[in-house]
Structure 1
Amino acid sequence: MIRYNLRCERGHTFESWFQSSSSYDAQVKRKLVTCALCGSANVEKAIMAPRIAGSKRRSPRLAAAPAFTIDEPPERGGSA
């Protein structure tokens, strides 16, 4: 399976999966590939960033959430 980023004549971008590059070509030629937003059949492959496989899979880094501590419960309305 191949995933392509596609762009229609109106500039909408979307992705779609195909069995092979020749399958993509055949479907585009027959106007079977349409924009997910406007329905246009005038689509082309958009530029894609290559995926480079590394030797190890890295786990995604998550930003640390700020830590909050409560030393005392909040005062309930009224003044002393």
Structure 2
Amino acid sequence: MDSIATESQYHVLAVDDSIIDRKLIERLLKTSSYHVTVVDSGSRALEFLGLMDDEIASAESDYVSSSPQHHVGLIP
């Protein structure tokens, strides 16, 4: 398996409240051939991962994910 195929299998979720930092992180990771999703809060990260409680999710109803939720494995 070549290194590009190995790297591109990873999907990185970056969380930062600064739009400048999110854009920088996204650009750096995309140049390394990673699939990147950026969000601006921990609650939105939990929602993206499908780990947020329904009660909390309804309070955060202003957020609409443009990506379907997927199982994300953690790298030790």
TM-score normalised by the shorter chain: which range applies?
under 0.3
**Which has more strand, going by share of residues?**
1
What's the TM-score, normalizing by structure 2? 0.27
**Which has more helix, going by share of residues?**
2
Larger Rg: 1
